[in-house]
Structure 1
């Protein structure tokens, strides 16, 4: 996936959780970004970027959807 490339998202339903390695759309400081999930614990997810940098823990509720396809 490249910067600016279109993706298709699927909702993460209530009661389910994103998994480690999933690429998700997460709301951070009022803006929406795609992030990798690095870890999951107690209703929180560790979000990371494509360069391996961990951005920090955020609430599961801030994860808006999961990438299910990349538009070529």
Structure 2
């Protein structure tokens, strides 16, 4: 299983999970393969500035919350891109900790 599948499984069971997400869209906040701990969160607690694990376009990814209304969150990446509005019910978890980078894979 990949990190997204593992995260989805743990979060839907109400458990925290540490994963190593891949990609560069969160560069400056979370680097490629940097460990982060995701925790379940009530979608109503999510605020602008949070990094969330959210269902988006048939998958689930880490996104930065740019803005929030009572019903939705505006998500994007750390490089300035705006992806769009997601329902709060699509928020599956929130980054609770960004671990220090270590050398190696």
When normalised by structure 1's length, the TM-score is 0.87
Question: What's the CA shift for 1:52?
Answer: 1.0
Question: What's the CA shift for 1:46?
Answer: 0.1
Q: How many residues align?
A: 71
RMSD of aligned Cα (Å): 1.4
Q: How does 1:16-35 map to 2 (within 5 A)?
A: 16-35=44-63
Q: Which structure dedicates a bigger proportion of its chain to helix?
A: 2
- Consecutive unaligned residues of structure 1, counting only runs of 5 or more, are none
Q: Which structure dedicates a bigger proportion of its chain to strand?
A: 1
Q: Deviations over 1:26-70 (max 9, x none)?
A: 111221111110111131000010101111001001111110112
- Consecutive unaligned residues of structure 2, counting only runs of 5 or more, are 1-29, 101-105
When normalised by structure 2's length, the TM-score is 0.62
Q: Deviations over 1:14-36 (max 9, x none)?
A: 6x330010011011122111111
4+ residue segments displaced more than 2 Å: none
* Bigger relative CO (Cα 8 Å, ≥ 6 apart): 1
